[in-house]
């Protein structure tokens, strides 16, 4: 009888041991966290790249009205075709001339008494043009208007290789932040440890200035009946770095 009890006790102990070891195996492992007393140093840096635009985008509006839709469409198409042909004759590639917006809608006309005198059909066509030679921009605007354009909605200047400018501004911002971190650490009498975090944000804006500041013959090209100032584009990157302090 004692032998049976001893065997039973051993079996129970073995089961309990296996259960405890299994629980230990399947316990979720804790993620390593930074020490609560980790000292850090945070700095910010900026990088600016100033460029003269080398490309422009213009929206040319073609507006037509007629008593019937077919006539209004025909008039508008003739005007848009004339503008496109004139621009291409000045060297603009056909692929750089696109229809950006096209609307057809009725418009009622009224007399002095407020009575409807008739309904006309309006066609608005916006042609989006990419200009890759800015010295010809004033001439192109003259040509577009003389060929039937009713309005120029806006001119947006840009740089063709924006990615290179962004990369340069980013690198300048990082170097600026690194230099500041080393300077601050030296004055504070500490040493920098590993980089803990980094964040970067870019932005750009156009700052107009006189066409005479373009240089390289650019100013002479802008002195026409349509004055245009390309301005300058400032590409900016802001970087924040956080280092551990040894």
pLDDT tens for residues 111-131?
A: 888 888 889 999 999 999 999
The lowest-confidence range among 46-55, 96-105, 143-152, 204-213 is: 204-213
Structure tokens at 88: 């291409």
Query: In terms of DSSP H, where are the helices of the chain?
Result: 2-25, 69-89, 137-146, 162-188, 218-222
d(CA 52, CA 102): 33
pLDDT for residue 221: 36
Query: Superfamily for 55-158?
Result: Protein of unknown function (DUF541), domain 2 (3.30.70.2970)
CATH no., domain 40-52+162-245: 3.30.110.170
The domains of the chain are located at: 40-52+162-245, 55-158
In sign, the C-alpha dihedral spanning 216, 220, 221, 226 is positive
d(CA 69, CA 122): 8
pLDDT (tens digit per residue) in 26-84: 444 444 455 567 899 999 999 999 888 899 999 999 999 999 999 999 999 999 999 99
Q: How many CA atoms lie within 13 A of 106 on its CB side?
A: 7
d(CA 49, CA 43): 21
pLDDT for residue 42: 95
d(CA 119, CA 42): 67
Q: At what angle do helices 69-89 and 137-146 cross, to 10 degrees?
A: 150
Q: How many CA atoms lie within 13 A of 78 on its CB side?
A: 8
Please state whether 242 falls in left (phi above 0), alpha (psi between -120 and 50) or beta: beta
């Amino acid at each position: 009888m004692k032998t049976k009890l001893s065997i039973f006790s051993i079996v129970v102990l073995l089961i309990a041991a296996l259960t405890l070891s299994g629980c230990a195996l399947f316990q979720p492992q804790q993620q390593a966290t930074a020490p609560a007393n980790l000292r850090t140093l945070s700095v910010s840096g900026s990088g600016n790249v100033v460029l003269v635009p080398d490309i422009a985008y213009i929206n040319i509006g073609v507006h037509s009205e007629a008593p019937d839709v077919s006539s209004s469409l025909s008039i508008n198409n003739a005007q848009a075709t004339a503008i496109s042909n004139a621009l291409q004759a000045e060297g603009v590639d056909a692929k750089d001339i696109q229809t950006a917006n096209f609307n057809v809608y009725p418009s009622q006309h009224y007399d002095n008494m407020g009575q409807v005198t008739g309904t006309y059909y309006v066609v608005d066509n916006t042609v989006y043009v990419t200009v890759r030679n800015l010295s010809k921009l004033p001439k192109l605007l003259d040509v577009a208007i003389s060929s039937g354009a009713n309005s120029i909605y806006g001119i947006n200047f840009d740089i063709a290789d924006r990615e290179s400018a962004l990369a340069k501004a980013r690198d300048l911002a990082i170097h600026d932040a690194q230099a500041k971190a080393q300077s601050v650490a030296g004055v504070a009498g500490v040493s920098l440890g590993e980089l803990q975090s980094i964040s970067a944000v870019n932005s750009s804006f156009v700052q107009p200035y006189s066409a005479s500041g373009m240089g390289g013959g650019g100013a002479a090209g802008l002195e026409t009946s349509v004055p245009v100032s390309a301005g300058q584009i400032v590409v900016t990157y802001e970087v924040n770095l956080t280092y551990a302090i040894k």
